[in-house]
Structures are given as C-alpha cells and as structure tokens.
Chain A
C-alpha cells in the first residue's frame, strides 16, 4: 500500500498505514527523495507506529532514506518504533545507526524543531 506523504509546515510526514512490501518501501524512498526538493522541506518524519515487524530490508531502506534526505539538505526522523519491534530489531542485529529516532510524531517534530533552531535560529510556525 502506498504511503501517504503530508506536508506540515517545513516538514514532510510519511505516515505508514499498514504493513509494507519491499516495493512499497522503494516507492516511499523515491517519492520522499523527490518531494523533499520540490516542497523545499527542512525535515522528514517517517511514522512507523503501525508496523509490528521491521526486517532488514525495511531497516536498510529507512537508513538509505535518511542518507538521501540529508544529501538533499534536510533531516529525517523515524518515529513510532514499538517496544517489541525495537527489541526484535536489536536481537536481529538491525540498527538505524546514524539515523535520528523519536518516540512518536510529536517528539519527532520537537526533534526537528530543535535541529532547525540550532542551524538557522528560526522557529517554524505551526511546526
């Protein structure tokens, strides 16, 4: 299922709605890489709250997304990894090294706001 990407102030929010196939993930990656430039976004949040499994492909794709977005001049935060998912991931040796994470959407936005304030001194409105 395609992941809807919403624009919220200077941020893009990709809110995963159901389990993702590898194809969906690739599509999400390409779409985010594209949209971040078009909408001149400063940050991207990928909300994975609904996912109850995270395999190596998904992990790798999320890492790739974060790296690509950084090259496009924005920050990425992965939010909503559930306790069970986090535990399973570390047991499988999967990590999101170098990728920002936050508890949920609210915390993710707070993280991006902090980042933005630190770099430009500007506090985004409505963010």
Chain B
C-alpha cells in the first residue's frame, strides 16, 4: 500500500485541533480520565477474557466469522485488541492514538468489513466490558455507571474516527475512479498519410478537452496531418460547454492548417445541440466515422476501390 506513509489523520482532516475539538464535544474531562485510569488495573486482568468472549461472539456468526478464516489473522487481531483494551484505560488520547484508530478503521474498510458488523461487534464488546466493570466494582456499585459512561465517551470518539476512515477511503476510491475516467487514454491515430482520427470515449470536461486538443495538435504536427476526424460517438452527453470545447478544438486544428471533422453526433445529441441553440455552423459534421473517413479521403485525393475496380459501396 503506497499511501501508508501518508498519515490518515491528515487525509481525514483530523488535525490536533480537530481531535481536541472532538474530545471537547464529547466532554471528556479530567474526571473521565481519572475513572479510566482507575479501571486500568482490572483492564490488565480482564483484557484477555473480554477479547476471548468478543471473538467467540464474532466466530459464532457466519457473516462476521468469514473475516477471520485465517487463524493467524485471528491471533494477531486478538493480540491487538488486548492492547487496545488496555490502551483505552490509560487515559492518554493523543495524536498517535487518533492515527492508530484511523489506521484500524482503514484496515476494517480495506477488508470490506460492513459497518453493521463493526457497530454490532462494538455493542457486544461494550456489553462484555460492562459486565466486567460491574464485577470489578462489586463493592462500590455507584461507580459502575459513571465509569462505563466515561468509557463510552472514548468509545464514541473512537467510532467517530473509524467512521471517518470509512468515508475517507470511499471518497478516495471514488476520486481515483474519477481520475481514471478523466485520464482515459484517447489515441490519435493515423489512418492514411495526412489523415488522423481521434475517437473520444467517455465524458469530456474542460480539463480533458484541453488535454485532447493538445494531444491532437501535437499529433497534427508530428504526422503532418491535413485532415482530422474527431469521433464523439462514445461521448455520453454533449452540452453547450462540451460543444464549445469541440468548436475550439476544430478551430485550433484549422490554425495549424488541418481541417477537422466531427462525426458520431447521435440523434439525441443533435437534438440537444439544436434545442440549446449551439451553433456548429463553422464545424464540418459528418454522420458517422465511416462517412468522416470517406469525406477525408476525398479531400486528400484518395480513392478507395475494390480489386475489381468497383467502388467499395458496390
């Protein structure tokens, strides 16, 4: 994973101030820290049995058990959970803690652990811990609820961070997909000397339009093209902005001495353009790619015939 080096807290926008604000909003105060620290003694003692129960619960349900098929993974996660349980009651919640929690959330997201299982497991975990607190404070039952509520605050802090990583990861995935789509490679192909075609597939935005134009212009110079056919059959929607980009591309080609033709305007696209009043009067349009290539060949003085001398359309 290439992005391990980059702190998740940065990506999720969890600055130190933000982390402090969250703690403040949850009203985690010195009293809570105190109570948590006091629980640390028996946390050391109970950590292992709590986690054992926790995983017994997880393993007793097919859906959640599926995530721990590998016994080594289970062992490792258990060990981490024991650490976590002890950590919860040290009362120290700093940036390193936040980063650690975010990382755990990211691991959950990476293995596609559904949030329902994450939250469901957490609820079970809290019930188990609550039982242990009650047991430990047999002598002073009035401390049970307060202690549990203090713990709950930290747990909510935690869940908040984990949820954020879920969202951050999702957003990152979406962003990557968008980028991939935007960077869809569009080839500029020479069909014959002097004739280039550029079939555009996928949506066009300003950035892509710019890149496409630059690519095409470079192709014109490199291939010494005199006619280019731009096919937009694969462009899902053409609005006035996209149309404007296309007009600019055609004009730029002309400035370099190449005539550009637009092909593949579907019925819907043509209707839309007329309805929104886009003027393509200065753009040479031909029905489909074949028509465009034929027209281009004509302009360049090519004549395509069959071996027996009949024209290709028969």
**Which residue of the partner chain A has the closest CB to B224?**
A103
A81 to B257, CA, bound (A): 8
Residue A53, interface by CB 8 Å = no
> CB distance A101 to B256 under 8 Å?
yes
Distance to closest chain B CB from A121 (angstroms): 17
Contact flags (1/0) for B238-252 with A, using CB distance below 8 Å?
A: 000000000011011
> CB distance A90 to B252 under 8 Å?
yes
> CB distance A83 to B220 under 8 Å?
yes
> CB distance B221 to A87 under 8 Å?
no
**Which residue of the partner chain A has the closest CB to B258?**
A103
Range for the number of chain A residues in contact with chain B: 20 to 34
Residue B255, interface by CB 8 Å = yes
Q: Which of A84, A87, A101 lies in contact with B254, CB distance below 8 A?
A: A101
Contact flags (1/0) for B255-274 with A, using CB distance below 8 Å?
A: 11110000000000000000
A83-B214, A83-B218, A87-B213 as given contacts; A102 in contact with B257, CB under 8 Å: yes
A108 to B251, CA, bound (A): 18
A-chain residues with CB within 8 Å of residue B214 when the two chains form the complex: 83-84, 87
Interface positions of A from 94 to 117, Cβ below 8 Å from B: 95-96, 101-104, 107-108, 111
> CB distance A81 to B220 under 8 Å?
no
A81 to B214, CA, bound (A): 13
A101 to B260, CA, bound (A): 13
A101-B254, A102-B257 as given contacts; A86 in contact with B224, CB under 8 Å: no
- Chain B interface, DSSP helix/strand/loop, else mixed: helix
| Most chain A CB neighbours (cut-off 10 Å) among B218, B221, B249, B257 | B257
Q: Which of B210, B217, B225 lies in contact with A86, CB distance below 8 A?
A: B217
Interface positions of A from 79 to 95, Cβ below 8 Å from B: 79, 81-87, 89-91, 95
Residue B226, interface by CB 8 Å = yes
Distance to closest chain B CB from A20 (angstroms): 17
> CB distance A90 to B256 under 8 Å?
no
A60 to B253, CA, bound (A): 19
> CB distance B226 to A89 under 8 Å?
no
> CB distance B221 to A103 under 8 Å?
yes
Add 15 more A-B contacts to A86-B217, A103-B225 (CB < 8 A).
A81-B256, A81-B257, A82-B221, A83-B214, A83-B217, A85-B255, A90-B249, A95-B255, A101-B257, A103-B220, A103-B221, A103-B256, A103-B257, A107-B226, A107-B257
**Which positions in B face A, CB cutoff 8 Å?**
210, 213-214, 217-218, 220-221, 224-226, 248-249, 251-258
Of the A-B pairs whose beta carbons lie under 8 Å apart in the complex, a sample of 20, sorted by A's number, is A81-B256, A83-B217, A83-B221, A84-B217, A86-B255, A86-B256, A87-B213, A89-B252, A89-B255, A90-B249, A95-B251, A95-B255, A96-B254, A101-B254, A103-B225, A103-B226, A103-B257, A103-B258, A104-B257, A108-B257
**Which positions in A face B, CB cutoff 8 Å?**
79, 81-87, 89-91, 95-96, 101-104, 107-108, 111
